[in-house]
């Protein structure tokens, strides 16, 4: 199964942009790239997903490399509420189940 | 009311006891999942079900069993609990839908301690 690799932790200042990287060099052509985050004492929540093109939503942007072997989650202005563990995962678009969460990146936001 | 609920939220039990964790959802989703989370290890999939008649093993199914009683209910059982099953357990639901990206919605978690 395809795996993702993320830094263990990152730090950001409040109201500055944050770029969270993810490597997925063994991604297959049918895999969607998903990002979830887990706030303290909560279950994970969906952030964004994409296949080939860059994506934007109200929470974040997702930049996908042309070869799809890496992606970057962009939080345009980090707030203290964005402090969480961010997971980059791959999901098979054909409906088959392939989801490995991994340890994620713990984001610290400084006021 | 929450869309995905888990009961109990916290449970302390002893080695060898049978434990059932319950999950209910009001989202009308067909797909349901059980995960466990250990410190520093992210989430690992235990079992998943794509509809009422479908049950599939995940990464770490040994020592666990599940029952999909209805579309809205998915229970996880530990037949004989052991201390290394102490963890935070999450239930999740999803619906493939037309978008086919299968966003998962997670419950609040059940913290299980096995003494």
Summarize pLDDT for B22-76 with one digit per residue, the tens: 999 999 998 999 999 998 778 888 999 988 999 999 889 999 999 999 999 999 9
Q: Is residue A18 predicted with pLDDT exceeding 80? A: yes
Query: What number is the average pLDDT over the span A75-103?
Result: 82
Least trusted range by pLDDT, from A18-32, A87-101, B13-27, B61-75 = A87-101
- The rounded percent of chain A whose pLDDT value lies above 70 is 91
pLDDT higher at A10 or B59: A10
Q: Is B29 on the interface with A (CB under 8 A)?
A: no
Tokens standing for residue A9: 């932790």
CB B29 within 8 A of CB B44: no
In a 10 Å sphere around its CB, with 0-12 CB exposed, 13-18 middle and 19+ buried, how is residue B100 labelled? middle
If pLDDT is split at 50, 70 and 90, which confidence band does A99 have?
low
Q: Is B44 at the interface with chain A, CB within 8 A?
A: yes
Average pLDDT over chain B, rounded to an integer: 91
CA distance B19 to B75: 10
Query: Which residues of chain A are within 8 Å of residue B48 when distances are taken between CB atoms?
Result: 97
- Supply B100's token pair: 């086919």
Query: How confident is residue A92, by pLDDT bands cut at 50, 70 and 90?
Result: confident
When pLDDT is averaged across residues A10-37 and rounded to a whole number, the result is: 93
The residue of chain A with its CA nearest to that of B4 is A43
Q: Provide, as residue numbers in chain B, all residues whose Cβ is less than 8 Å from the Cβ of A42.
A: 108-109
pLDDT (mean) for A31-41: 91
Supply the pLDDT for residue A94.
61
Question: Is residue B48 within 8 Å of residue B56, measured between CB atoms?
Answer: yes
Most confident of A57-61, A63-67, A100-104, B37-41: A63-67
Query: How is residue A81 annotated by DSSP?
Result: G
Residue A63: band (very low, low, confident or very high) from pLDDT cuts 50, 70, 90: very high
A10's tokens = 């990152």
* CA A106/CA B112 separation, integer angstroms: 23
Question: B97 pLDDT band (50/70/90 cuts)?
Answer: low
Q: What is the pLDDT of residue B73?
A: 97
Shortest CA distance from A102: residue in chain B: B42
Reply yes or no on whether the pLDDT at A74 is more than 70. Answer: yes
From chain B, the residues in CB contact with A99 under 8 A are 45
Residues of chain A neighbouring B100 (CB-CB closer than 8 A) = 93, 95
Please indicate whether, in this complex, the C-beta atoms of A43 and B48 are within 8 angstroms of each other: no
- Using CB atoms within 10 A of its CB, is residue B77 exposed (0-12), middle (13-18) or buried (19+)? middle
Mean pLDDT over the full length of chain A? 89
Q: How many CB atoms lie within 10 A of CB A33?
A: 25
pLDDT of residue A108: 97
Q: Does B39 touch chain A (CB under 8 A)?
A: no
Q: Which of B42, B101, B105 sits opposite A102 (nearest CB)?
A: B42
**How many CB atoms lie under 10 A from the CB of residue A72?**
17
pLDDT score of A35: 94
């Amino acid at each position: 199964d395809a795996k993702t690799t993320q830094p263990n932790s990152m730090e950001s200042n409040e109201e500055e942009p944050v770029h969270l990287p993810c490597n997925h060099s063994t991604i297959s052509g049918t895999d969607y790239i998903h990002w979830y985050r887990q706030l303290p004492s909560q279950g994970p929540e969906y952030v964004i997903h994409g296949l080939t093109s860059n994506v934007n939503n109200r929470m974040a942007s997702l930049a996908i490399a042309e070869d799809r072997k890496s992606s970057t989650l962009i939080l345009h202005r980090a707030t203290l509420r964005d402090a969480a563990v961010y997971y980059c995962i791959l999901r098979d678009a054909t409906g088959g189940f392939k989801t490995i969460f991994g340890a994620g990146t713990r984001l610290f936001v400084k006021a | 009311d929450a869309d995905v609920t888990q009961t109990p939220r916290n449970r302390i039990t002893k080695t060898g006891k049978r434990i059932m964790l319950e999950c209910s959802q009001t989202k009308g989703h067909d797909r349901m999942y059980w995960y466990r989370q250990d410190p520093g290890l992210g989430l690992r999939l235990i079992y998943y079900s794509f509809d009422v008649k479908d049950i599939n093993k995940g990464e770490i199914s040994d020592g666990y069993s599940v029952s999909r009683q209805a579309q809205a209910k998915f229970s996880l059982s530990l037949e004989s609990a052991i201390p290394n099953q102490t963890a935070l357990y999450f239930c999740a639901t999803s619906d493939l839908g037309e978008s086919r990206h299968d966003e998962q919605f997670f419950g609040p978690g059940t913290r299980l301690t096995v003494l």
